[in-house]
Structure formats: structure tokens, C-alpha cells
Amino acid sequence: MTDKTIPKIEILSVLVAMLCLVLCYVPVQGQMFHARLHTGTMYYQGDLAPRPLSISFGPGNLSWGVSTGYNVTPWASINTRFMIGRLAGDDSFAEDPGRKSRNLSFYSPLYEYGVYTDLNVNKLWKSLDKYKLRMYLHLGVSAFRFNPQAWYQGQYVELQPLGTEGQTIPGTGKKPYNLTNWSRPMGLLIEFDVAKRWSLGLEAVPRKTWTDYLDDVSTTYPDYNTLKFERGAESAELSDPSLAKPEDNPAINSGKQRGNAKTKDWYSFFGLILTFKLDNPKGKCPSYSAGK
């Protein structure tokens, strides 16, 4: 993702936020505020997943988040959300011997801030009501912050500053990737009431991103010796820790394929939802007087 695309998405986010404020004041009978606690597992999908398939996931990691929302109509709500998670991938789990020999791995903390809508499927599929379940189609846009790291000599090392694909080598034309990016959540939620104001649910929400560097892997190996000269042995060794690399020719993989730049990375959240609902019989957002 280039820096030129970021302002366009920022403008879109501002427009979505303005739409939320406008919709918030549309008088719809039975509107309610709600708050949710999300807890579950976050998975990564990309070049370091166990299998080279779009449905192949990396190791799962515990994640959690909170969200608040407002029902603008009986079938749609507007919500804001904050999530904290962790992504990871490791060639040691790969089934393909060549990928296992590549020997790359990463872990990355992830912080997500999003705006989304839940569309009530029950309004179209009314047979769900007899099971006392509510199903929602979850759609939105999120900004997230990540920072891929790898284990090296007893500690985790941040990979982006090292330019492991030659981003720090003069004359390559490659630039360091941005550690802030955007994702498009799209998935399903199922919810059922356990008390008047409380409900439990499940969610499965994959997120398509606009970066191929969640795992620090995308294109080709840089020239090993040049990278070592420019950034040091740490950068060169983390760029190419291949198990099949001969000691007398560490630059054997220079210029060869390291990742698949044709596809972007994904991450997904699967977990539980605990929802608390607050009645708002007047159908209006809260207002605050000056000084209060």
C-alpha cells in the first residue's frame, strides 16, 4: 500500500463517521445503545501460513476487544470497535519441504480501530426467530497497527527497520512498508438472549488488508552480501535464514522468490461476544449541556 492511497481512505472514514452522527439522530422507535466485550482467537493468513491456500491459517493467538453501538433501524446498527491481538506464522509448520527449508517466522502485535455495521439477517430469514437466534452480517472498515518481529539470538527483533527485502539498500527502488494499514472486516455474528439486557454470541469475521507485509514477506531476496554491508549481519541473516543455505555461499538465494506479492495478507477473528443493551425510548442520542 502506498502513502498516496491513505488520504483517500481517511476521507472515506471521515464520511462514514459523519454518516454515523446523522443516522444517530434519526428517530426510530425502539433504538438502543449496546456495549460488547469480544474475546477469542486471531489468525493470520499469508506467505507463512502452513499451506499455500487462501483458507490456510497460521497459529491462533488470544485476542480481545470492546465495541459500542447504536441501532439506527430495526435491522441495522452503527458501531465502533477497538481490538488487541497478536499474529504469528512459522515455516516450521509448513507441509511443503521447500517452504520448511525457507525457515522464516514472525510474530506481530496488532491494534485495530474500526467502524462497522451489523445488518440483521432475521429480517430476511424469519425462520431464525423460532430458534431465538439473531444473525448479523458484519461489514466495516478498520485501521490497524502492526509490527512484525523475529526471534534472533535470544530476543525479538523488529523486522521493518532491517529492510529484509532490500528496502534499505540504495538504488533498489524499494521503500520501507508502512506499519499502519487498513482492513475490511466482513463476516457473521450469531447472538441469543440470556437475560433482559444481556446476550451471548459467536462471531467469525475475516479481514482483508491492503498490505502484503503483515509477515515481513512479499517479494524476493535482496543481494545477501550487499544487505550485510549496508545493514549488518543481523539484517542479512533474518532476511535469509534458509536451512539449505551453504556456509560457503550465503548469497545463494539472492534475487530468488521469497514470497508471493500477488496476494495481500488477511487476518481473522473467531470468538465470543457478551452484549449489554441499554434502552433509549426517545430514539435519540444523548445530549450534553455546556458545563455539565
Q: Distance between the two ends of the chain, CA-based, in angstroms?
A: 44
| Torsion, CA 160, CA 161, CA 165, CA 169, rounded to 10 | 160
Give the span between the Cα atoms of 37 and 123, in whole angstroms. Answer: 25
Q: Choose among 213, 214, 230: nearest CA to 171.
A: 230
Residue 5: predicted pLDDT: 40
Type of residue at 153: Q
In the DSSP assignment, the letter for residue 104 is -
Give 128 or 221, the one with higher predicted confidence: 221
Whether residue 284 is predicted with pLDDT greater than 90 in this model: the reply is: no
Q: How many helices (H) and strands (E) does the chain have?
A: 4, 10
pLDDT given for residue 54 in this prediction: 67
Q: Please, where are the H alpha helices in the chain?
A: 6-24, 97-102, 224-231, 233-239
Q: Evaluate whether 40 touches 83 at the Cβ level (below 8 Å).
A: no
Percent of the chain whose predicted confidence (pLDDT) is above 90: 69
pLDDT digits (tens, 9 = 90+) for 201-211: 999 999 999 99
Report the pLDDT averaged over residues 182-206.
95
Residue 292 burial by Cβ neighbours in a 10 Å radius (0-12, 13-18, 19+): exposed
If one counts every other C-beta atom within 10 angstroms of the C-beta of residue 14, the result is 10
pLDDT band of 289, cuts 50, 70, 90: very low
Q: Is 239 within 8 Å of 221 (Cβ atoms)?
A: yes
Dist CA 18 CA 264 (whole Å): 29
Residue 280's pLDDT is 53
Radius of gyration of the chain, Cα coordinates, nearest whole angstrom = 23
Domains in the chain, CATH or no CATH each: 3-146+175-214+268-279 (2.40.160.20)
Average pLDDT, integer, range 191-199: 92
Sequence-ordered list of residues with C-beta below 8 angstroms from that of 262, at least 6 positions apart, any chain: none
DSSP string, 234-288: HHHHHH---TT--TT-TTTTTTSB-S-TTS--EEEEEEEEEEEEEE-TT------
Grid look-up 499455500 returns 52
Mean pLDDT across 80-107: 94
pLDDT at 17 over 80: no
Q: What is the pLDDT of residue 23?
A: 47
- Residue 43, pLDDT > 70, answer yes
Grouping H, G, I as helix, E, B as strand and the rest as coil, residue 17 is: helix
Q: Which residue type, as a one-letter code, is found at position 131?
A: Y
Residue 187 reports pLDDT greater than 90: yes
- pLDDT, one tens digit per residue, over 106-126 is 999 999 999 999 999 988 877
Closest alpha carbon to 49 in 241, 268, 240: 268
pTM of this structure? 0.83
Answer yes or no: is pLDDT of 252 > 60.
yes
Give the angle subtended at the CA of 263 by the CAs of 87 and 214, to the nearest 5°.
25
pLDDT band at 279 (very low <50, low <70, confident <90, very high): low
Amino acid residing at 124: L
